[in-house]
Amino acid sequence: MAEFIAPEIQDNANGWGPCQVPEKFKDMPYQPFGKTDRLGKVSDWTGATYTDRKYANKYTSTFASNHQYTYYYEDDDTSYVLVDNTKTRSHSRFPFSRRGQRARSAWAGRGGNNNWGNRDNRQWNNNRGGRGGRWNSRNGRDASVKVGDDWTVLREIDFSQLATLRMNDLPRGEDLYTCGSVETYDSVYDRITPKNERPMKKSAADRNFNTCADTTTDDPIIRESRHKGQVFATDHIMATLMTAGRSVIPWDIIVRRIGDKLFFDKRATSSIDKISVNETANDPPSEENNTGINDPRNLTLEATYVNKVFGQQCLKQGEWTDLSNKNPYIDPGMKKDRIASAGYRYRKWTLGEYNLVARTTVDAVVQNKKTGAKGFAIVRALNEWDSKMTGDWRKKLEQQPGAVLATEMKNNNCKLAKWTCQAVMAGAVLMKIAYISRNSQRNNREHSVLQVSQFTPSQFAAQMQLQLENSWAVLRAIIHECMQLSQGKYLLLKDPNNQKLILYSIPEDTFSSSEDESSDDDEDEEDSDKESRKK
């Protein structure tokens, strides 16, 4: 007979289970135990455990498929995953922690002239056959910037946490400094219909659009206003943060903590001020499905170009309204009709214990026909690039304008929310939104204006279910999170494939060399353009 050898039994006098880990099991990975795990029987010989389908997963572990030790049988090239252990533990600080969620109600109530337009136009035309959007069907979207090996993750903020924030009272903006000149909006464009469409004038792009400092820290007026606030930004950056939860395309913002001040800035090569196309659509433009002029990058350049051209074309040429101060960024010798209409309002808001100072922009002056009162407006344009996707605006705008707007609110939700926030921050009384379509679907350089609609910012926000109480609370919460940082340089990155923000600590010299290289590339591009024009 075979001899039976009893296994070694460890007697644990102080508890249950083995007294120590056996040698053969030391340093082996194990499946962690969670308090939420469903515990069942050690052994079930009846075979009736899963007779009822609703109990089929009653003993399933909550870890399972997302655990780093789980193996999937696929081709080796696709199943191999390098475990990223560079992330440090997220420090859950107010207001995104559970404690912060309970306390939200307490703080919520506390409330040189380069022709940019021409250069952007050249870039748009020269890249029509190049690589477009950053969508990769196999690996997902790429981040807006390459994450460095020496970057440290400080915080991750899920968009679901931002959605519940509210402010009891909306902050009111106070003008600190105004400069620039704006022309009067031509009301003739309000009477345009698809039957009497008006072609876009390319000559409007010849105006000089580079009429202000591009970044926050380079703005001399913001530098002079440092004693008037603790937080500084531009309207593009503020709108991006306020509508972060609606964004899909990746973006990034530089955060600088200098003394007791906080600066939100952009990289020199950032596309944060470019205009997206169908970002929130069910089937957004991708490299795989669209090539040539309908490539995602070319669509963005086209939309940005169309907005700049129409923003100047719809104005009464020569009917200027000067703000309190002259634009300090313009060459005094430049003729006024060569300068793009733009007014800059440097404004201050009180968000709880923080004073926020930002540069906002207005595009035109509008006049009330009944009272004669004047006010500022922002001018924007929606562009139709594929009539099959929109149902052909030339047919639908006449009979179903509401349906066209509803479709655009679905496909371009983030873009329209940004425009609304920019109008609110700038103190604009009206938003003028044009519908512009290509004359031919195969030509992205010829467009016509089909119709222009106007809204008040509050009216438009209500139509698209944009709660400004939430938008301001999101901005205030992000500011509060960044104000807890020590002095240094950081990057706030929208995760390319997940609905969350990641806050990185980055070295002080990050992006310096790339910015220098980008400026050199721009100069080389301008020089080559000049030579080609001479030829």
31: Cβ contacts below 8 Å, ≥ 6 apart = 61, 63, 67, 69
Q: Are 168 and 109 in contact (CB under 8 A)?
A: yes
Identify whether 309 is part of a domain: yes
Q: Are 303 and 435 in contact (CB under 8 A)?
A: no
Neighbours of 197 (CB within 10 A): 20
pLDDT per position as a tens digit, 335-347: 887 889 999 999 9
CA separation for the pair 224, 221 (Å, rounded): 5
Q: Which two tokens stand for residue 75?
A: 């081709």
pTM metric for this prediction: 0.72
Q: How many domains does the chain have?
A: 1
Whose CA is closest to 346, among 327, 366, 367? 327
Rounded alpha-carbon distances, angstroms, from residue 450 to 2, 194, 200: 93, 5, 10
Q: 294-327 b/e with 16+ CB inside 10 Å = b?
A: bbbbbbbbbbbbbbbbbbbbbbeeeebbebeeeb
Q: Are 269 and 514 in contact (CB under 8 A)?
A: yes
Q: Per-residue pLDDT averaged across 350-375, rounded?
A: 93
CA separation for the pair 316, 189 (Å, rounded): 11
Q: Which two tokens stand for residue 88?
A: 């440090």
Is pLDDT at 355 greater than 90 in this prediction? yes
Q: Give the three-state DSSP class for 494.
A: strand
User: Please, what is the average pLDDT of the chain?
Assistant: 80
Identify whether 71 is part of a domain: no
Identify whether 145 is part of a domain: no
Q: Are 490 and 250 in contact (CB under 8 A)?
A: no
Q: Are 90 and 153 in contact (CB under 8 A)?
A: yes
- pLDDT for residue 382: 97
Identify whether 103 is part of a domain: no
Band the pLDDT of 329: cuts 50, 70, 90: confident
Q: Rg of the chain over CA atoms, in angstroms?
A: 28
Q: Which two tokens stand for residue 224?
A: 């002079």
Cα dihedral sign, 466-469-472-475: negative
CA separation for the pair 310, 342 (Å, rounded): 13
- pLDDT for residue 47: 56
Q: Are 296 and 285 in contact (CB under 8 A)?
A: yes
| Region class of 26: left (phi > 0), else alpha (psi between -120 and 50), else beta | beta
Identify whether 172 is part of a domain: yes
Identify whether 40 is part of a domain: no
Identify whether 368 is part of a domain: yes
- pLDDT for residue 96: 52
Helix (H) or strand (E) holding 472: helix 468-483
Identify whether 30 is part of a domain: no
pLDDT per position as a tens digit, 254-298: 999 999 999 999 998 898 999 999 999 998 988 777 778 999 999
pLDDT per position as a tens digit, 483-502: 999 999 999 999 999 999 99
Residue span of the structural domain in which 348 resides: 152-505
Is pLDDT at 94 greater than 80 in this prediction? no
Q: Which two tokens stand for residue 39?
A: 């515990």
Can you name the residues that pair with 455 across neighbouring β-strands?
431
